[in-house]
Chain A
Amino acid sequence: MNRSSTGLMFILPAIAVLLMLIAYPIVYTVYLSLIDAHGALTGKNYANVLKPYVTRQAFGNLLYYVGGSIVFQVLFGTLAAILLNQKFWGRSAVRSITLIPWVVPGIVAATTWAWMFHTEFGIINYMLTGAHIIPGPVGWLTNKDTVMPVLIAINVWKLFPFVAIMVLAGLQAIPADLYEAAKVDGANFWEEVWYITLPLVRPVLVAVTLLLLIWGLNAITLIYAITQGGPANLSLITPIQIYQLAFTSFQFNEAAALSVLFFIVAAIVVAVYVKVIPSNTAVAR
């Protein structure tokens, strides 16, 4: 039987498209990053990109944004999953509603939250001043101390539902007799969570955390639509810097150099993900 060649025929079209639109651009980016405007080989692009303070600032902001988001996404996502795994009236409706922030377009989330955080007319300042939590209106998106935490909060709201469904699937795969055994031994609810639930959903948590890290490195929409990196680059992150270098300043070669550096960082994370996940799958199911 010529099984192997038939199998390849089935896969070939998809692989060809991916090679053309993913592999080729990556190779071409490396080439672009190494030439100047006249096509001569040069290392200048890397030097020009690495020198200015703004590059370090954008990367620092990116780490802060992604790190801060992940901690709370995983925390709130796991808590929501534990809640959604309980039996209560209207549970399936609550499960559906929980997913909505994740499904809606990022740009809609961005504009709606920007309106709610509006300094003068925003509902959030109104509620917080009304409850005397803050003395007066705060310029959440223009103040240097609040802009990043607010963007992180919006990002957490957008993605904790994804953590919740994944962890919920993991929770539902845990055999019930484990809990019964724990009950017999006199464990309370939080002891069950700590000694049974968490160890058994750990593989799902690892997978989800890595995915969030990869997506986080990739995220542009929320920040671009809300602050465009401002005020004064305080919320500028590397992907937005690449976009601006290429399509606002038209420095394609420097943008390519920054892309290559960024790509190496992302590739390391992806390599860890690919290496860690298969060994975990047996446990997860």
Chain B
Amino acid sequence: MSEDARLAGEGGVGSRVTIAISAIVLVLVCLFPFAWMALSSIKKLPELFTVPPHWLPNEPTLGNYWTVLFNSNIPRYFLNSCIISGGATLVALVLAVFASYGFARFNFRGKAWLQTFVLVGQLLPTAAIIVPLFITLRWLHLINTYWGLILIYTIITLPLSVWMLTSYFRGIPYELEEAATIDGASRLGILFRITLPLAMPGVVAVVVYSFVTCWNEFVFALVFAQDQSVKTLPIGLAEFSTEFNTDWGGVMAASMVMTVPVALLFLVFQRLFVGGLTAGATKG
């Protein structure tokens, strides 16, 4: 990136110090809450309620994690979150692959209108449709089931997935598909044997985006999962703070358990994910 070299390369000592200080401040602001969360999660209760607070624990303990793992519903909620987020990601991905391929490779009447409809689906406020969704799901007997939340989460992630994948498919040269058509491959054969393998980075971006979105979702889970058998981690965390009369050590340990998987997933696939998102957003 030549423009970066231009910006900083000729800068004097002053500008380099400014950059260094700003970068340090930025990192501190972003990471401080997590550092405090991690430190609080290994403190014993009396030490959490000390005035003034200690920066580092005098007697580090794993007791809070023990409570979270063996004396709470968090492991069950962790499993529920995995099933629901994984299921919704899979359903949204399958629907999005077909829809994006249709949008990217075919022309038909009403295409622009349908694309706008998908985009609008991403933008409408959840609060405005939560009441009828509740009534619909209750009528379908899907409240407090995995399938209920999987369906609901599909509509949250589907629009942006379609958006990201469409722009990815468009970037793949059509000539490759034409060659296969001449060789007699069917439309579906082309999609699965040629286009999709080439679009793997886009698919990974969509999977990470969908999974993290579902993993983090709070409001729909609050309404549609009221039974312990289907409650997800965000609900468990909110519950944890009242259930134990706010055992802050336990809350912080549960927060760690919930944050580490998404943070790792995201950091590993970061480049793909950010590329897919910014391309979708700036290209439209």
Contact = CB atoms under 8 A, between A and B. Distances in A.
B128 A263 contact: yes
Interface stretch (B56-64, B119-127, B172-180, B196-204): B119-127
A179 B126 contact: no
B227 interface: no
Dominant SS at the B interface?
helix
B73 interface: no
B66 interface: no
On chain A, which size bracket covers the interface?
35 or more
Contacts of A99: 266, 270, 274
A157 B28 CA distance: 12
A11 B258 CA distance: 35
A2 B131 CA distance: 41
A259 B128 contact: yes
B186 to A, nearest CB: 11
B185 interface: no
A87 interface: yes
Interface string B214-233: 01101100110000000001
Interface string A223-262: 0110000000000001100110011000010011001101
B106 A10 contact: yes
A243 B130 CA distance: 8
A22 B102 contact: no
A159 interface: no
Contacts of A113: 33
Interface in B1-32: 1-9, 11, 15-16, 19-20, 22-23, 26-27, 29-31
Contact of A100 (B3, B34, B234, B251): B34
On chain B, which size bracket covers the interface?
35 or more
B216 A106 contact: yes
Contacts of A6: 106, 187
Contacts of A29: 128-129, 131-132
B127 A3 contact: no
Contacts of A109: 33
B9 A220 contact: no
Interface of B: 1-9, 11, 15-16, 19-20, 22-23, 26-27, 29-31, 33-34, 36-37, 40, 48-53, 95-96, 98-99, 101-103, 105-109, 111, 114, 116-121, 123-136, 151-152, 154-155, 158-159, 162, 187, 212, 215-216, 218-219, 222-223, 233-234, 237-238, 241, 248, 251-252, 255, 258-259, 262-263, 266-267, 270, 274, 277-278, 281-284
